[in-house]
Amino acid sequence: MQPITPAGLDLLRSSLTDNNLVFLDGFHAVKHAARFGADIGLVACANEAKLQELADALAPDIAGELTSMAKAIDKKDVKKIGEMRSHWTGVWGVAARPTYTVEDILASPAPIILLENPQNGGNIGACIRVAAAANVGGVLLTGGADPWEPAVIRGAAGLQFAVPVANLETLEGLTRPIVAIDPEGDDIATATMPNQPILAFGTEREGLSDQLKSMANMRVSLPMKEGVSSVNLAVAVGIVLYSQALR
């Protein structure tokens, strides 16, 4: 395997701050980016044998592509690269950031996830991951959290390349039916979901805003044992997407 060049190290470093690039944190993010057609500029690898093992076991469909692209990186260089964390897979990458638009997401016939002001990068990533698995039309975020930051990429295992994600500046002008997913809503088991819903989930601490609740066409809840106040945001997204209500 050829060693990474100084330009390659610069590319890795700049992918942490350049809005046109995505820093792919770990093998799974690199794998999903490659599988879903990302324009990958670099794959860096700290352990060639481990990359081969991971690629053979977890991505036999693209193992040759991944290993032939990879450049060897020294662990000392990994530590020097800004916020770049050590990843157990010893694999990192850089891809061009796709240009998803809110309009394209809203035009999808599939359900859309709206995360209102989510705070935790790992949680946001987990929401994107299950949203991609359930093949939704896209994930919109209010409140300005960056769906491309490394913690979100890691949490989503790079599945931002499989489902469009975008920041929504305003709730004004949404025309699709909104379903507020809220612990105080009606039991989801008996709810009849509208077609092409926007499924709106609230922020981790406070839940949905009064504005979103008042805009919603319906409010549904996931029934819980008495005394439990809520489930984790990403867990709620997963349950709703895989519940009978959407079938």
Ligand X SMILES: C[S@@+](CC[C@H](N)C(=O)[O-])C[C@H]1O[C@@H](n2cnc3c(N)ncnc32)[C@H](O)[C@@H]1O
Stretch that binds ligand X, among 57-65, 92-100, 134-142, 219-227 (CB under 6 A): 219-227
Site for ligand X in 11-40 (CB under 6 A): none
By CB under 6 A, residue 182 contacts ligand X: yes
Q: At what angle do helices 121-133 and 233-242 cross, to 10 degrees?
A: 10
Minimum distance, C-beta of residue 117 to ligand X, in the bound complex (Å): 10
> Which residue lies nearer to ligand X by CB, 137 or 202?
202
> Which residue lies nearer to ligand X by CB, 45 or 199?
199
By CB under 6 A, residue 218 contacts ligand X: no
Angle at 43 between CA 153 and CA 69, to 5 degrees: 140
**Size, binding site for ligand X by CB under 6 A:** 17
Of 125, 128, 169, 114, residue with least CA distance to 149: 125
Sole binder of ligand X in the list 62, 230, 243, 246 (CB under 6 A): 230
Query: Which helix (DSSP H) or strand (DSSP E) does residue 76 occupy?
Result: helix 75-80
Stretch that binds ligand X, among 125-133, 148-156, 161-169, 178-186 (CB under 6 A): 178-186
Structure-block tokens of residue 3? 């060693």
Sole binder of ligand X in the list 43, 181, 198, 241 (CB under 6 A): 181
Minimum distance, C-beta of residue 182 to ligand X, in the bound complex (Å): 5
Residues whose CB falls within 8 Å of the CB of residue 217, separated by 6 or more in sequence, listed in order: 177, 178, 179, 194
Cα–Cα distance between 150 and 158 in angstroms, integer? 9
Sole binder of ligand X in the list 233, 238, 241, 245 (CB under 6 A): 233
Q: How far is CA 226 from the centre of its chain?
A: 32
Site for ligand X in 87-106 (CB under 6 A): none
Residues whose CB falls within 8 Å of the CB of residue 124, separated by 6 or more in sequence, listed in order: 115, 118, 141, 145, 147, 152, 155, 156
> Which residue lies nearer to ligand X by CB, 94 or 152?
152
Minimum distance, C-beta of residue 88 to ligand X, in the bound complex (Å): 28
Count the residues in the chain.
247
Sole binder of ligand X in the list 8, 93, 150, 183 (CB under 6 A): 183
Sole binder of ligand X in the list 165, 197, 201, 209 (CB under 6 A): 201
Q: Contact at 8 Å (CB) between 47 and 124?
A: no
Q: Counting runs of H as helices and runs of E as strands, what totals does the chain give?
A: 10, 10
Minimum distance, C-beta of residue 105 to ligand X, in the bound complex (Å): 19
Of 237, 233, 247, 133, residue with least CA distance to 193: 247
> Which residue lies nearer to ligand X by CB, 76 or 225?
225
User: Using CB under 6 A as the criterion, which residues of the chain lie in contact with ligand X when the complex forms?
Assistant: 181-183, 201-202, 204, 206-208, 221-222, 224, 230-233, 236
